[in-house]
Amino acid sequence: MHSTHQFFLTERSLYILVLEPRTGLAQRDAEYWLKLIETQGGGSPVIVIMNWSHGRRWRVDEVKLKRKFPFIVDFLPTDALHGDGIEELQRCITQTVEEQMQDVWLTFPGKWRGIKNAIAGMQDNFLTYQQYTDLCAKHGESDPAAQADLAAILHALGLALYFGRDPRLHDTRVLNPGWVTGGVYSVIRAPSVAKNDGQLGVCDMPQVLREAEEQKVIEASDYPAESHQFILELMRAFQLCYASEEESNHNMDDGEAKPCRYLVPELLPEFEPEMPQPWDSAPVRLRYRYEVLPPGLLPRFIVRTHALSDGAPHWRHGVVLRHAEAEALIRAESDRPELYLFVLGGDEETRQVLVTMIRRELEALHTEMRMQPVEELELTGEGEQWISVRSLREVEQPENPTQKLPVQPDGTAEVNVPQELDKLVPAEARAIDRDPATAPIPVRLFVSYAHDDERQLKRLDLMLDVLEQQHHLTSWRDTRLIAGDEWDEEIRNRLEAMDIFLFIASQTSLVRPYIKDPELKRAKERREAGEIEIVSVKLEPCACDDDAYLGKLQRLAPTFKSVAQAPLKSTAWEQVRKDLLPVIQRVRARKNAAMNR
């Protein structure tokens, strides 16, 4: 049930955390739940209850917990069976609401109250956003901004779940929280899905729901057929699963790929498989030490990086990621709050690229989950010696490479700081970090592609992230080619600001009218004026080479017939990255020359 916490732990709430001494793990449980509340509840106030205290008061380390989680209001002993401490709890709740929850006293328009009551009493499990706005208008609230604000308040109150304007959730926005959690719980606890190693499709949902009904979790009739894909897409939006296969979409009327198979990481095989790689001797070894390792961290990481794990081993507590000739093992330890990353294979540059992609995804997850683990690098040499990556970055002095530094688990060591950091980040990028004034002129890249091909471009996004971090390339691509006025204006502005136009050639992109005009048309005009460079990537077999204009353009990774036809797609994308580097350098040299005139 850990995966559903994000649906009902909301901000601007008062939490009552009830602990009990039977398991002997109250301190651990307290830290786990308080960390979740800090992450999902935005540091909302918490009253910690030590239940089962009738005649034998017990305690947790209150000083430590209040230091780590300053939003704790108080620790109160109670005994629910005998009623001990309940009156004191009531007084504490009242005082906390009055003194710390100012939102309770905000003016709430009468028409909003009518909408709230209507939502609270609705029999339907979900509303389209249009139905919600119609309901608002019926009660006198027709301002779209106010309607959105009220939806967010209803979400905070726990009366409904509101997901803003996430396009993956189609038109459904306001839902019964119990209906959502029931649907998600049905999937992540389905015996049939677990038996199939976490894989399922929309066609499997009737069986999943029948199993949940047999377990008395839900009523299957509450989930009509039209809601089945929505539940899976909701899980995908919240990084609880990913689309492992999609239908061929070149002939689809709406031009959008439809997932036909999903994979739920929490239902992967439990145990690590045997692998031939010598991970114990990997040249790059990182570990992350957490105060509490949330159960949802690794499943979400597996979802975020699934483009790198295609065909590689993955299980509930670990995954192998691949990029060109380099491989990485990411594994969570079951007996301590630590995550390990081992990287081997390929040359140093390829390993750096893979490490950069993984570290960026972990950093993003840590930010989302409001965690600050200690990142440590194992030093080259004999024995197990670890040192903080942050410390290495802070003390690096190219003129004084070797320094005596404290290491874990104890003692000191002579450390060649640049040599160790070269495992993670190129020296040029580190030099810019030390002195931002030396940063090169940014180069702006525009990616022109068909939305149908978006899932195939996950690796391109990862490559562009690496180029941004290491070579100050600023890339841009829209997430949907919608010919609306707002998007049209934004795209045209980006076409004027770009330095490099990257065309993703596919069967679909070659026939998209909007790509032909204005995108390719304006790129051609600016190239002929000597303002930009145009390069292309052949995503799949298509007629781009036969086109009178496109066939003459510089194609990245030309040794491969197309990315799709490469023996290893990641090798083709790595070549795309390498081929982009001289283009970036040419553009930057031209911009520098123009500035110095």
Give the 3-state secondary structure of 254-283. CCCCCEEEEECHHHCCCCCCCCCCCHHHCC
Three-point CA angle 457, 519, 478, nearest 5°: 40
Write down the pLDDT at residue 564: 94
Domains of the chain, by residue range, sit at: 2-105, 111-267, 275-374, 379-438, 443-596
Asked if domains 2-105 and 443-596 share a fold, the reply is: yes
Q: 105: which 2 tokens?
A: 């006293």
Q: Give the domain 2-105 fold.
A: Rossmann fold (3.40.50)
Instruction: Check if the beta carbon of residue 75 is closer than 8 Å to that of residue 86.
Output: no
Assign domain 443-596 to a CATH class: alpha beta
Instruction: Give tens-digit pLDDT for 192-228.
Output: 999 999 999 999 999 999 999 999 999 999 999 988 9
Q: Is 427 helix (H, G, I), strand (E, B) or coil?
A: helix
Please determine, looking at this structure, whether the domain spanning 111-267 carries the CATH number 1.10.10.2200: yes
Q: Pick the closest to residue 394 from 365, 411, 367, 415 (CA basis).
A: 415
* Bridge partners of residue 342, in order along the sequence: 285, 329
Write down the pLDDT at residue 484: 40
Q: Pick the closest to residue 48 from 62, 36, 58 (CA basis).
A: 62
Return the number of other C-beta atoms located less than 10 Å from residue 494's C-beta: 17
pTM, whole model, 2 decimals? 0.81
Write down the pLDDT at residue 29: 86
Write down the pLDDT at residue 290: 92
Residue identified by tokens 């609270």 is: 120
The list of the chain residues with pLDDT below 50 reads: 168, 170, 248-256, 480-485
Instruction: Check if the beta carbon of residue 332 is closer than 8 Å to that of residue 315.
Output: no
Q: What are the CA-CA distances from residue 455 to residues 204, 235, 245, 252 (Å)?
A: 23, 17, 10, 16
Write down the pLDDT at residue 258: 58
**Phi, psi at residue 294, to the nearest 5°?**
-60, 140
* Bridge partners of residue 579, in order along the sequence: none
Q: Sheet containing 554-555: which strands, arranged edge to edge?
A: 473-476, 443-448, 500-505, 533-538, 554-555
Assign domain 275-374 to a CATH class: alpha beta
Beta-carbon contacts of 554 under 8 Å, excluding residues fewer than 6 positions away, are 533, 534, 535, 536, 583
Write down the pLDDT at residue 225: 92
